[in-house]
Amino acid sequence: MSITRFETGPRMSQAVIHNGTVYLAGQVGKPGESVADQARHALSEVDRLLALAGSDKTKILSATIWLADIADFSKMNEVWDAWVPAGHAPARATGESKLASPEYLFEVIVVAAL
């Protein structure tokens, strides 16, 4: 079976397709933004990458969300709830974690069907 990679750099690809499944790298917002703005930015990147791969957010199978501070859970959920299409909520997990840089407050990792 073939593997298709998108926006591949020396360390990682932003999206990979294998066997009808799209795997996205973790998407983050812009440093200095609020957690809500970072979530909106990262989710817009999810939309863009899924479209590039030939999929969309109605086909997301699972999402893993990392917050630098779990106290931001409700603020993030407001953005998430507005973004997810009704009837297409994926399996999801959310946890608190130290992210790659202290300026990052939100990261999402998505797996979707084609």
Instruction: Please report the pLDDT score of residue 1 as a whole number.
Output: 82
Q: For the residues 87-97, what does the mean pLDDT come to?
A: 98
pLDDT above 90: residue 107: yes
Tell me the pLDDT tens digit for each residue of 13-62: 999 999 999 999 999 999 999 999 999 999 999 999 999 999 999 999 99
Instruction: Please report the pLDDT score of residue 40 as a whole number.
Output: 98
**The 3-state secondary structure of the chain, one letter per residue:** CCEEEEEECCCCEEEEEECCEEEECCEECCCCCCHHHHHHHHHHHHHHHHHHHCCCHHHEEEEEEEECCHHHHHHHHHHHHHHCCCCCCCEEEEEECCCCCCCCCEEEEEEEEC
Q: How many domains are there within the chain?
A: 1
Domain residue limits at 11 = 3-113
pLDDT above 90: residue 93: yes
**CATH number of the domain enclosing 31:** 3.30.1330.40
